[in-house]
Amino acid sequence: MRFFRSRLKFSLRTLFVVLTIFCLWIGYHLNWIRERHDAREFLREFGVIWLATGDEAPAPWRLRMLGEPGVSFFAVGFPGSSGTQFDRKQKIFEFRRLFPEAYNDDVVDFASPTHPPLDSR
């Protein structure tokens, strides 16, 4: 009797290299998800408006595979009397990097009478 031999042969070393690359890929994307959650927490902590999470703008496919919901819109507004000390432009750049699927309204001055406050979630 002749035994069926697989045409795909690879060494244990190859298996470990592929497994390591896969784990690094998963780790990178789990860190991205953690940073997205930290950004949401930052937005809630400083009273910044966060809107429209949902199916309208799905998260990048690599994050969707891991169960992360998409964000279709966010508005970054900094209350004038909060006294917070952080670089606003850097934070906006960071939010854009973390949420590439979202449309954002840059910096909104919520203390301005020309811009009515939005509902926060």
Please state the pTM of the whole predicted model.
0.69
pLDDT single digits (tens) 75-115:
666 655 455 556 777 777 888 888 888 876 554 544 444 44
* Tally of CA atoms within 13 A in the half-sphere of 118 that contains its CB: 20
Q: How far apart are CA 48 and CA 110, in angstroms?
A: 9
Domain range summary for the chain, segments of one domain joined by +: 12-108
